[in-house]
Amino acid sequence: GASLGTYSTTLFTTRAKLHIEEASITKPIYLFLAYHGVHDDDDVNATASDLSSSILKTIQAAIPSSNPMRRNFAYGLRAIDDGIATLWETIEKYRTADFNYVIVIHGDNGGSACGSYCIGSNTPLRGQKFYDFDGGVKVPGIIYSNALLPSSVINTTYSGLMHHVDWLATFVNGLARGYSQ
């Protein structure tokens, strides 16, 4: 098909953008987008061809050629950053004054320090993907909303337990209560 040979991060971003553009602003939508960009596969290096020359030069200056797996991680992560920026711009372009949204960005596990094509780092935490130490299970995340978060949670940190499969139930519960909660 037309998507054969397209890097998954680029493909997912394109499809999500189309979904946002086609969505009706009169009813809520739920869009779950699980990027694969920084996982250990031999195609992550292909994202470098999608990056601008200035971004490539920045990554190559920051990470020596003697560490190609770390560069591959940077290429994949930059592709995700660009995808998120594209979706943010699309939301801002199509939203109206009464269109409110919540954006959640999070990891699913710690990075793999022993990859074959791409390696992450969980420093200063001990452990990595597939391990129960903090480096394998504590991941960063953010929640942003243009209007739906209560002021009591803005600029706060949550240190409790949470698993990414809890998000759908959390959103459904919030919608059932109404936006005022």
Instruction: Give a three-class secondary structure readout of the chain.
Output: CCCCCCCHHHHHHHHHHHHHHHCCCCCCCCCCCCCCCCCCCCCHHHHHHHCCHHHHHHHHHHCCCCCHHHHHHHHHHHHHHHHHHHHHHHHHHHCCCCCCCEEEEECCCCCCCCCCCCCCCCCCCCCCCCCCCHHHHCCCEEEEECCCCCCCCCCCCCCCCCCHHHHHHHHHHHHHHCCCC
Q: Give the separation between CA 40 and CA 69, rounded to whole angstroms.
A: 9
Confidence (pLDDT) at 103: 86
Lowest mean per-residue pLDDT among 38-42, 69-73, 111-115, 136-140: 38-42
What's the pLDDT tens digit per position in 103-113? 888 888 888 88
Q: Output the average pLDDT for the chain.
A: 82
Neighbours of 111 (CB within 10 A): 23
Residue bearing the bigger pLDDT, 145 or 58: 58
Confidence (pLDDT) at 2: 60
Question: Is pLDDT above 60 for 181?
Answer: no
Pair of tokens at residue 64: 């020596």
Question: Is pLDDT above 90 for 63?
Answer: yes
What's the pLDDT tens digit per position in 5-53? 778 888 999 999 998 888 866 666 778 888 887 887 776 666 677 788 8
Question: Is pLDDT above 50 for 167?
Answer: yes
Q: Give the separation between CA 33 and CA 167, rounded to whole angstroms.
A: 12
The mean pLDDT of 143-166, rounded to a whole number, is 84
Backbone angles phi, psi at 30, to 5 degrees: -120, 120
Cis peptide before 150, with omega less than 30 degrees from 0? no
Confidence (pLDDT) at 180: 47
